[in-house]
Amino acid sequence: MTGDSGDSGGPLSAAADPAEIDLEATLRPHRLGEFIGQARVCEQLELVLQGARRRGAAPDHVLLSGPPGLGKTSLAMIVAAELGSAIRVTSGPALERAGDLAAMLSNLVVGDVLFIDEIHRIARPAEEMLYLAMEDFRVDVVVGKGPGATSIPLEIAPFTLVGATTRSGALTGPLRDRFGFTAHMEFYESADLEVVLRRSAGILGIDLRLDGAAEIASRSRGTPRVANRLLRRVRDYAEVRADGAVTLQVAKEGLAVYDVDDLGLDRLDRAVLTALVRTFGGGPVGVSTLAVAVGEESATVEEVCEPFLVRAGMLARTPRGRVATASAWRHLRLQVPPDAPGDPPPTLFDS
């Protein structure tokens, strides 16, 4: 449940950094009782798992949707742990051919959990094979080509598929309908993030004070992965430039070094807002044009910056393009023009 804090000045993304996967694994909860936040999802999932255990059957397939860094992978591993089963892990982009999926399915044993991350990116041939596997626990393997091709049915062991997606709208209807339980994970409140931070600090041996935890939580974009990454960066600052304790003042100074401001905006977020306001007069402007102005790929602006800026109430998506709201102008300490969109209702990011 950790994420990218922009250690080298890059965007404060919630995407996992491969170099820190081992460290992230040590911070993951291992049981539902250890999982912090997402109370409704955990309650529903617990009922699904307990019901299946009492019936002595594999649970329904589970789909977890929501932005990166909220704990979808952790919950998938918890499902396997609660069932006492093995978990096989793959991702949608890795399943390019139906044969890739067939090989994985044929190696499952009864009760195994198959976790497919970014399942919305699975190739169409593999997805169509997955339909039959999810419903009837069998796959049809095609041998040969052309008129002489034959289909051989292959029985597979009953299993539970846990799919994770950051774009549930990109899933096809037939695939979405085959999941028996679908959960959408929400951004975290600061109070829950403080609990996450205190737990992580205990595991990592960090002297985290209550006011320091509150400060880091308030700048973590509602995302545990980001909170844990910021905690590690502030720890570095505390150990090198202070006495090692993460206090309120140390947290503020450390986060300033890593260009994370009071609302959790990083360098790229502010560059996008600044270009939108100063270069394009607050918009509307297309995302590709905005990306060129800040020297980034369109996908980076759209998938990394936009979701947070929209939830923070600083950017609005309109049919004509992206528009800066009154909050964006005020955050950049600029006079709000009369035609700027008004502030949206308060969200968890409001201070």
| pLDDT of 187 higher than 70 | yes
Domains of the chain (ranges plus CATH)? 38-184 (3.40.50.300), 190-257 (1.10.8.60), 267-331 (1.10.10.10)
Strands 160-165 and 321-324: unpaired
Are the C-beta atoms of 216 and 235 separated by less than 8 Å?
Answer: no
Amino acid at the residue 74: S
Looking at residues 167-182, what average pLDDT do you find? 90
Q: How far apart are CA 255 and CA 261, in angstroms?
A: 7
Scan for tokens 């096989």, then name that residue: 88
Q: How far apart are CA 199 and CA 27, in angstroms?
A: 8
Q: How far apart are CA 109 and CA 90, in angstroms?
A: 16
At 140 the pLDDT is 75
> pTM for the whole thing?
0.82
Give catalytic residues, as residue numbers: 72-73, 117, 166, 225
| pLDDT of 5 higher than 80 | no
Residue 214 confidence class, pLDDT cut points 50, 70, 90: very high
| pLDDT of 12 higher than 50 | yes
At 148 the pLDDT is 59
